[in-house]
Amino acid sequence: MRAGATMQRGVTLIELMLGIAIFGILMTLAIPAFTQFLQNQKMKNAAETTMHGLTLARGEAVRRNQSIRFQFVSTLTSGCALSSSDLNWVVSVSDPTGACDAPPGGGNIVQVKSAREGTEGVAMAATGGSSITFTGLGRVSGAGITQIDFTFPGGGTCQHAGGEMRCMRVLVTTSGAAKICDPKVTDNTDPRICS
């Protein structure tokens, strides 16, 4: 060898193909777990967003010392209707049906939340109707939503039913307190239990 000459070494075609094959195998193993993670995160986001809306409605009722409603609606347009299976929600002074596109803050509408904001694909089922009204004392007035379950259709079954998804639930008591819980948890000492 000559003095001062350096040897150059590159990646051979075989080494490159082996690396791509290993990467492909790892991706094949990781994609289902990542998909399940995303579904669980969307359900958690839907539950937390709904919890925020319930807390906001109750807090506004106490702050204003008047009845404030939290309701699920079909859309956030002038054609909206109450719904117990759509994730769009409105916090308002009175029934927002047909006026969900009104600007928040001025009149009837306090705040709105679109189902398209991080909860795409999540299904919701409300027990007790599509709305709940909080009094000026923060208590529930009359009958209304008592439980809201969040699932991901087509994503499998919930863990509490022997599946792999981590479904969420929001419970509302007659005193107006709302709580996010996990239907899978059965230990009475666990704060995530649905009871």
* Residue 3 resides in a domain: no
Domain membership of residue 50 as a residue range: 13-65+121-181
| Residue 57 lies inside a defined structural domain of this protein | yes
- At residue 70, the pLDDT reads 94
Q: Is residue 87 part of a domain?
A: no
What pLDDT was estimated at residue 56? 93
- Is 192 exposed, middle or buried, given 0-12, 13-18 or 19+ CB atoms closer than 10 A? middle
What digits encode the pLDDT tens for the residues 55-112?
999 999 999 999 999 999 988 888 888 888 888 899 999 888 888 888 887 678 888 8
136: in domain: yes
Do residues 93 and 80 touch, judged by C-beta distance below 8 A? no
The answer to whether the Cα torsion of 28, 29, 34, 35 is positive or negative is positive
Residue 161 DSSP SS3: helix
Residue 121 confidence class, pLDDT cut points 50, 70, 90: confident
102 is a domain residue: no
**pLDDT at residue 52, rounded to an integer:** 92
Helices (H), 65-118: none
Please tell me whether the overall predicted TM-score, pTM, comes out greater than 0.85 for this model.
no
Token pair of 158, please?
A: 């919930």
pLDDT computed for residue 159 by the predictor: 62
The per-residue pLDDT for range 21-67, each reduced to its tens digit, is 998 888 888 777 787 888 888 888 889 999 999 999 999 999 999 99
Whether 26 is in a domain gets the answer yes
> Per mean pLDDT, which range of 23-27, 65-69, 153-157, 174-178 is the poorest?
153-157
User: How far is Cα of residue 154 from the mean position of the Cα atoms in its chain?
Assistant: 16
Token match 């106490």: residue? Answer: 62
3-state secondary structure 72-105: EECCCCCCCCECCCCCEEEEECCCCCCCCCCCCC
How far is residue 11's CA from residue 9's CA, in Å, rounded to a whole number? Answer: 7
Token pair of 161 as six digits: 């039913």
Residue 152 falls within a domain, yes or no?
yes
Is residue 139 included in any domain, yes or no?
A: yes
Q: How many domains is the chain built from?
A: 1
